[in-house]
Chains A and B, each alone.
Chain A
Amino acid sequence: MSEYLLAAGDRPLFEWRWVERNADQIVQRLGEHLALTAAALAIGLVVSLALAVLSLRWRWFYAVALGTAGALYVIPSLGAFALLVPFFGLSFTTAVIPLATYTLLILLRNIVTGIQQVPEEVREAAIGMGFTRVRLLLQVEFPLALPVVVAGLRVAAVTTIGLVTVTAMLGMGGLGFFIRQGIQTTTPNPTAIIVGIGLSIVLAVLVDALLWVGERALAPWARKAGRA
Chain B
Amino acid sequence: MNAFEQALDWLGRPGRWSWTDPAGIPYRTVEHLGFSALSLLVAAALAVPSALLLAHFRRGAFLASSAVNIGRAIPSFGLIILFWYLASRWGVGTSFWPLLLALVALALPPLFSNTYAGVVSLEPDAVDAARGIGHTERQIMLRIELPLALPVVLAGARVAFLQLVATVAIGAIVNDGGGLGRFIVDGFAQGAGGYGEILAGGLAVIVLALVCEGVFALLERFAVPRGLILSRRTTLTTRPA
Q: Measuring CB to CB, which residues of chain A are less than 8 angstroms from any residue of chain B?
A: 1-2, 4-5, 8, 71, 74-83, 85-87, 105-106, 109-110, 151-152, 154-155, 158-159, 161-163, 165-166, 168-171, 175-176, 179-180, 182-183, 188, 190, 193-194, 196-197, 200-201, 204-205, 208, 212, 225, 227-228
- Known contacts A78-B181, A82-B205; is-contact A71 B76 (Cβ 8 Å): no
The secondary structure that dominates the B interface is helix
Q: Does B201 contact A (CB under 8 A)?
A: yes
The secondary structure that dominates the A interface is helix
Find out whether the CB atom of B81 lies under 8 angstroms from the CB atom of A179.
Answer: yes
Given contact pairs A106-B238, A197-B82, A201-B75, enumerate 15 new A-B contacts (beta carbons under 8 Å): A1-B95, A76-B166, A76-B205, A78-B169, A78-B170, A86-B199, A110-B238, A151-B240, A155-B238, A162-B76, A182-B81, A182-B84, A188-B88, A200-B78, A228-B238
Find out whether the CB atom of B81 lies under 8 angstroms from the CB atom of A183.
Answer: yes
Q: Report how far A208 CA is from B89 CA in the complex, Å.
A: 34
Find out whether the CB atom of A76 lies under 8 angstroms from the CB atom of B209.
Answer: yes
Q: Report how far A106 CA is from B234 CA in the complex, Å.
A: 10
Q: Report how far A80 CA is from B241 CA in the complex, Å.
A: 30
- Known contacts A162-B72, A176-B78; is-contact A85 B195 (Cβ 8 Å): yes
Q: Which of B3, B95, B198, B236 contacts A155 (CB 8 A)?
A: B236
Chain B residues within an 8 Å CB radius of A80 = 202, 206
- Known contacts A78-B205, A179-B78, A188-B88; is-contact A161 B73 (Cβ 8 Å): yes
Which 4 residue pairs across A and B have the least CB separation, nearest first? A82-B202, A76-B166, A86-B3, A79-B205
Q: Convert B54-93 into 0s and 1s, putting 1 for each residue whose CB lies closer than 8 angstroms to a CB of A.
A: 0000000000000001001111111101101100110000
Chain B nearest CB: distance from A8 CB in Å?
A: 5
Chain A nearest CB: distance from B113 CB in Å?
A: 13
Find out whether the CB atom of B82 lies under 8 angstroms from the CB atom of A159.
Answer: no
**B3, B88, B181, B195: residue with the most chain A Cβ atoms closer than 10 Å:** B88
The count of A-to-B residue pairs whose CB atoms sit within 8 angstroms is: 165
Q: Which of B73, B188, B238 contacts A162 (CB 8 A)?
A: B73
Chain A residues within an 8 Å CB radius of B69 = 158, 208
Q: Which of A76, A110, A197 contacts B75 (CB 8 A)?
A: A197
Q: Does B230 contact A (CB under 8 A)?
A: no
